[in-house]
Structure 1
Amino acid sequence: MLEVLYEDNHVLAVNKPAGLLVHGDETGDTTLADMAKAYIKEKYNKPGNVFVGVVHRLDRPVSGVVLLAKTSKALARLNELFRSRKTQKTYWAVVQRRPPQEEGTLVHWLVKDSSRNITKAYAKENRSGQRSELHYRLLQAQQGCYLLEVNPITGRSHQIRVQLASMRCPILGDLKYGAPQPLPDKSIALHARQLQFEHPTLKTQVTVSAPPPQNAAWGPFR
């Protein structure tokens, strides 16, 4: 069942649950795009194929706002907004170690190993890496866990996960980047909290927010 956050004739924003793929991969598992097509087909009683364009993605174990396009015009314009970094993304992350500063900016050069689906972060410039930058600030501390607000300036694969781990603050449940144990549902405590973007046809600013998952990792911060 899709949790729809915003919808009009051109765009559809939903709250992706952790564990769901945004776009198809070799597993053949049901995707968010599949569910969106089925939702539109049923809601509007559309015959034939339904168009849904994937504008951006979240890693499978990550939850939160995902923006989809309902028309090819919207898809092209939204793709350009994301490519030119004219959107504002806000994430929440729960970590088990207090960051060295309550607020800061992290810059690394990230190198992705596609064969292992893992990214490495280098503090100094690396010719084969992509410069990656994010800003974080500590929002709350509860029960030995720390809630960080993260604004990525760039959009690299696994960027938030590996950059937070590089300051010895791995995300809760993220075994790939140094968390000591998994979460019961195999998710990680990283959530795409808010997305701000220019509407592809109206040219107005749209802000979409998603509540975090109903699991124990987020309980102290509700």
Structure 2
Amino acid sequence: MHDLEILYEDADIIVIYKPKGLATQSASFRTKDATDILRLHLREQAPQKEPYLGVIHRLDTPVDGKLVFAKNKQAAAALSTQMQNGAFTKIYEACVHGQMPAKEGSLDDYLLKEKKGNHSKVVAKGTPGAKHATLEYRLLAYDAGRDESHLEIHLGTGRHHQIRVQLANCGHPLVGDTKYGMDAPEELKLSATTLCFLHPRTKKQLRF
């Protein structure tokens, strides 16, 4: 299963761990992604019908971590509403270059996804097409020898490459980020460690 792990499944949702190197949803039909693997899993459960799989959020291909998918339209709508109103919590851990200016802080920017290439950038407020992006960080540890900070990151919004773009813009690019940093190719130090949301049917608080 390409090291994809199903952490939880019921009639409404599937929560998985996605490994680094596997796309959540690829633009190429030649590239197997997490949605392909899960659809095959659902077809094996019920071969007589085409499965429904709602993509609620995504992780970049070089990022590992936890994702939730919906197994019906009602669950997809409920989870999407939580994403929009801030009831859906996503927590990440990352290693960045340099020492952060404070043990806790926040970043507030406007991001624009460029039309060509898989790339976003910080732009001025009011730029056509720009989207507001916020995150909060907490310093977990600082390695003086490597001059790297280990951070816990809470996303306030879910923008394209948001964590990578915002941290690079403030002078602390992620370790291993060749797109927004200056590193030689190596593993990107970013993981989606925690998901917290209300179950779309029972409304019970779930944390993974």
Partner Cα separation in structure 2 for residue 149 and residue 27 of structure 1: 35
Q: Look up the SS of the partner of 1:177 in the other structure.
A: coil
1:106: Cα distance to partner? 0.7
The yes-or-no answer on 1:201 pairing with 2:201 is yes
- Retained in 2: the 8 A contact 1:98–1:146? yes
The aligned counterpart of 1:105 is: 106
Work out the CA distance in 2 between the residues paired with 1:111 and 1:51.
31
- Aligned residue for 1:150? 153
- Whole-angstrom CA distance in 2 between matches of 1:155 and 1:33: 19
Any gaps of 5 or more consecutive residues in structure 1?
209-222
Q: Which deviates the most, 77-86 or 162-171?
A: 77-86
SS of 1:138 mapped into structure 2? strand
Q: Distance in 1 between matches of 2:202 and 2:182?
A: 43
Conserved 8 A contact 1:171-1:179 = no
Q: How far apart, in 2, do the equivalents of 1:167 and 1:50 lie?
A: 43
1:52 corresponding residue in structure 2: 53
Letter in structure 2 aligned against 1:21: A
SS in 2 for 1:40: helix
1:138 aligns with 2:131: no
Please report how far the alpha carbon of residue 18 of structure 1 lies from its aligned counterpart in structure 2 after TM superposition.
1.3
Whole-angstrom distance in 1 between the partners of 2:62 and 2:165: 14
**Alignment map for 1:71-220 (pairs within 5 Å):** 71-122=72-123, 124-128=124-128, 129-142=130-143, 144=146, 145-183=148-186, 187-208=187-208
> What is the Cα-based RMSD across aligned positions, in Å?
1.7
Query: Matched residue of 2:21: which SS?
Result: coil
Residues 51-107 of structure 1 show CA distances to partners (whole Å, capped at 9, x for unaligned) of 211111111111111111112211121122112222011011111311122211111
Matching residue of 2:13: 11
- Percent of paired sites with the same residue: 35
TM-score, normalised on structure 1? 0.85
TM-score by length of 2: 0.90
Amino acid of the residue matched to residue 181 of structure 2? Answer: G
Report the Cα distance in structure 2 between the residues aligned to 1:192 and 1:173, rounded to whole angstroms.
Answer: 16
| 1:172–1:179 contact (8 Å) kept in structure 2 | no
